[in-house]
């Protein structure tokens, strides 16, 4: 049997399993937005931990991060460890508070929370638009990685565009029918599969080097251990972006899905153990071993290290691993798709275009938007827009730079008024977008940093010079959070 046939066979098997899960998700899903977009707020600690890991770890980890470790060595690893230790802490700090507000006031999207707290419909629309603009490049890296993985594993028999197309069809189908319930259940399967494969691959790659790859590399390429190799500006941007990843729309919605606040706290701890060890150390070991096994790779070829490694040393196993790459990408992409669809449906369509839509019609519109976003993303990715890590970080950075200051107002700082939140959102989002799409990374500094800096200045100046929200509104939110978090009576 040819390798291409094996790749296709394993992939069909894997897709079949995913569809079975999607089918059960579809059977259990009621036609209500809360059920379709948030799985009825019923997730327990195990499912929430795995869906968080699966959603966070994407093609970025499986392909992009391995390549970046290969290019930058241990200095990137110190960066990766930093944000992989910090993001679970952010789940604890932000997620618990967001769950408290989400469950009390019935929020479905992040825009619901911002619009309700700041009493601003403009806020709702702008939050939704920024979320969608930022999600498109971030989603596209999953397809980009899927296309690359298919092409590398089949030796080019299945071209990049066909691999991406297959992936798009599979995800669109099970997301369309199964909603978030199918997404989180498949995340459990995909997350476990992906973590196990990374661990096995790391051990296998080290064995393949025939000894201690660190010693070999230390002798041949000591520069790879140079701590300053991954420049400070990239270091800072990556940490700011990924440590605050719980503020991305699809991650924020995971805070709304939990069964209880306790579930979020427990998940934060599980993720804090899984993420640094299974997602960082394994990826680094593979990257370093690849320096011995596949020397001399440059540019975008480093994004396909795992498939190339397998194609060279274990072509048949490569078929299984290609499915793991798909698992990594699909588990992130499906959540992002649902999130983008919920932003379009709940925050724009239902609020301004079809105000009479009942729960059933809202869900159907949500499903249609899943398909629309999928098509837009597919055509975007056919342009092969760039490095996986750059696209992912820059796309997510737009969202995080824009969302962070209004979120601080909602959850921590009652002094922040609508004007400060709204303008910091607009300025940070616009600056982060311009410094990515138009004037790319001025002075070599990532758009996340530019956006955050501009947003911070706007936020602080306007917070101190404009009026806060009415006292009753502050008390309604901060009083409730205080009563639970600090255990004090209101």
CB of 414 vs other proteins, minimal distance in Å: 4
**Phi/psi of residue 438, each to 5°?**
-110, -60
Choices 16-24, 30-38, 229-237, 394-402; region in contact with other proteins by CB under 8 A: 229-237
Q: How far is the CB of 470 from other proteins (least distance, A)?
A: 6
The reply on whether position 230 binds other proteins by CB under 8 A is yes
List 258's β-bridge partners, or say none: 43
3-state SS assignment for residue 209: coil
Q: Nearer to other proteins by C-beta: 91 or 173? A: 91
CB of 79 to other proteins, least distance (A): 7
Residue carrying structure tokens 């300053």: 228
Does the protein bind other proteins through residue 485 (CB under 8 A)?
A: yes
Q: How far is the CB of 96 from other proteins (least distance, A)?
A: 6
Minimum distance, C-beta of residue 477 to other proteins, in the bound complex (Å): 8
**261 makes contact with other proteins (CB under 8 A):** yes
**Total binding residues for other proteins by CB under 8 A?**
59
In the list 281, 294, 368, 456, the residue contacting other proteins (rule: CB under 8 A) is 281
Structure tokens, 481: 């959070």
Give Cα separations from 74 to 63, 69, 139, 306, 475 (angstroms).
17, 7, 27, 18, 47
First and final CA of the chain: distance in angstroms?
70
Each residue 193-222 as x (binds other proteins by CB under 8 A) or -, in order, gives -------------------x-xx--x---x
User: Least CB distance from residue 448 to other proteins, whole Å?
Assistant: 17
Q: Which is nearer to other proteins, 360 or 467 (CB)?
A: 467
Distance in Å, CB of 391 to other proteins, minimum: 23
Q: Which one of 4, 32, 42, 78 is in contact with other proteins (CB under 8 A)?
A: 78
Q: Is 414 in the site for other proteins (CB under 8 A)?
A: yes
Longest dimension (CA), the chain: 71
CB atoms within 10 A of CB 106: 13
| Alpha carbon 430 to its chain's center | 21
For residue 74, the minimal CB distance to other proteins (Å) is 5
- Which 3 state secondary structure label does DSSP give 419? helix
268 lies in the binding site for other proteins (CB under 8 A): yes
Contacts of 261 (CB under 8 A, 6+ apart): 96, 99, 100, 484
Take residue 261 and report the two structure tokens written for it: 């606040």
Out of 199, 260, 300, 456, point to the residue binding other proteins (CB under 8 A): 260
Does 89 interact with other proteins (rule: CB under 8 A)?
Answer: yes
Burial (CB count <10 Å: 0-12, 13-18, 19+), residue 303: buried
Three-state secondary structure call for residue 43? strand
Decide: is 413 part of the binding site for other proteins (CB under 8 A).
yes
Q: DSSP labels for 372-416?
A: HHHHHHHHHHTT--S-HHHHHHHHHHHHHHHHHHHHHHHHT-TT-
CA torsion through residues 70, 72, 75, 81, sign:
negative
Which residue's CB is nearer to other proteins, number 214 or number 403? 214
User: Among residues 169, 210, 226, 372, which is the contact residue for other proteins, using CB under 8 A?
Assistant: 226
- 98 contacts 248 by C-beta, under 8 angstroms: no
Cβ 100 to other proteins, closest distance in Å?
A: 8
Select the span of 305-313, 432-440, 444-452, 471-479 touching other proteins (CB under 8 A). 471-479
Query: Is residue 48 part of the contact set for other proteins (CB under 8 A)?
Result: no
Query: Rounded CA gap, 181 and 51, in Å?
Result: 11
Residues in CB range of 278: below 8 A, 6 or more apart:
53, 195, 198, 199
Q: Provide the minimum distance between the beta carbon of 25 and other proteins in the complex, in angstroms, as a whole number.
A: 27
Q: Kindly state the DSSP code that residue 296 receives in the 8-state scheme.
A: T
Q: Which stretch binds other proteins (CB under 8 A): 141-149, 173-181, 441-449, 477-485?
A: 477-485
Q: How far is the CB of 80 from other proteins (least distance, A)?
A: 9
| Secondary structure (3-state) at 262 | helix
Q: Does 264 bind other proteins (CB under 8 A)?
A: yes
Our finding on whether 92 is near other proteins (CB under 8 A) is yes
Rounded CA separation 328/338 (Å): 16
CA distance 474 to 307: 53
- Residue 415 in the binding site for other proteins (CB under 8 A): yes
Q: Which residues contact 16 (CB under 8 A, 6 or more apart)?
A: none
Please identify, using beta-carbon distances, which residue of 85 and 192 lies nearer to other proteins. Answer: 85
Q: Which residues bind other proteins (CB under 8 A)?
A: 74-75, 77-79, 81-82, 85-86, 88-89, 92, 96, 100, 212, 214-215, 218, 222, 225-228, 230, 232, 235, 260-262, 264-266, 268-269, 272-273, 276-277, 280-281, 412-415, 467-468, 470-471, 474-475, 478-479, 481-482, 484-488
């Amino acid at each position: 049997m040819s390798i291409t046939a094996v790749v296709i066979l394993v992939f069909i098997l894997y897709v079949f399993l995913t569809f079975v899960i999607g089918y059960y998700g579809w059977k259990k899903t009621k036609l209500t937005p809360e059920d379709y977009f948030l799985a009825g707020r019923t997730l327990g600690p195990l499912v929430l931990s795995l869906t968080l890991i699966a959603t966070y770890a994407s093609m970025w980890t499986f392909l992009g991060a391995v390549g970046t470790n290969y290019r930058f060595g241990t200095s990137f690893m110190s960066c990766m460890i930093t944000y992989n230790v910090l993001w679970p802490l952010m789940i604890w700090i932000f997620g618990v508070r967001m769950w408290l507000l989400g469950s009390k006031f019935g929020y479905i999207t992040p825009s619901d929370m911002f619009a309700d707290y700041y009493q601003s419909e403009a806020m709702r629309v702008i939050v939704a638009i920024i979320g969608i603009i930022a999600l498109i490049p971030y989603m596209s890296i999953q397809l980009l990685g899927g296309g690359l993985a298919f092409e590398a594993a089949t030796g080019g028999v299945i071209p990049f565009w066909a691999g991406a197309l297959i992936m798009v069809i599979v995800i669109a189908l099970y997301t369309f029918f199964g909603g978030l319930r199918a997404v989180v259940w498949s995340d459990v399967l995909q997350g476990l599969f992906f973590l196990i494969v990374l661990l096995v691959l790391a051990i296998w790659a080290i064995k393949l080097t025939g000894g201690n790859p660190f010693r070999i590399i230390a002798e041949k390429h000591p520069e790879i251990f140079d701590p300053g190799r991954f420049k400070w500006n990239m270091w800072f941007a990556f940490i700011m972006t990924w440590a605050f990843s719980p503020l991305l729309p699809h991650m924020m919605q995971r805070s709304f899905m939990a069964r209880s606040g306790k579930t979020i706290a427990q998940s934060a701890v599980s993720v804090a153990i899984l993420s640094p060890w299974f997602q960082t150390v394994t990826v680094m070991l593979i990257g370093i071993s690849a320096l011995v096994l596949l020397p001399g790779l440059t540019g975008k070829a480093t994004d396909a290290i795992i498939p190339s490694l397998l194609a060279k040393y274990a072509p048949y196993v490569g078929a299984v691993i290609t499915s793991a790459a798909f698992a990594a990408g699909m588990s992130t992409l499906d959540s992002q798709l649902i999130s983008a669809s919920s932003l379009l449906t709940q925050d724009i369509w239902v609020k301004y275009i079809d105000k009479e839509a009942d729960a059933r019609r809202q869900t159907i519109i949500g499903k249609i938007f899943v398909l629309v976003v999928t098509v837009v993303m597919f055509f975007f990715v056919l342009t092969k827009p760039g490095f996986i890590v750059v696209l992912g970080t820059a796309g997510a950075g737009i969202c995080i730079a824009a969302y962070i200051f209004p979120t601080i107002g909602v959850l921590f700082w009652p002094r922040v008024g609508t004007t400060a939140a709204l303008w910091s959102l607009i300025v940070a989002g616009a600056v982060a977008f311009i410094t990515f799409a138009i004037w790319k990374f001025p002075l070599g500094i990532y758009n996340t940093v530019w956006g955050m800096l501009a947003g911070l200045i706007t936020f602080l100046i306007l917070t101190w010079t404009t009026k806060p929200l009415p006292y009753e509104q502050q008390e309604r939110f901060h009083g409730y959070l205080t009563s639970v978090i600090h255990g004090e009576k209101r």
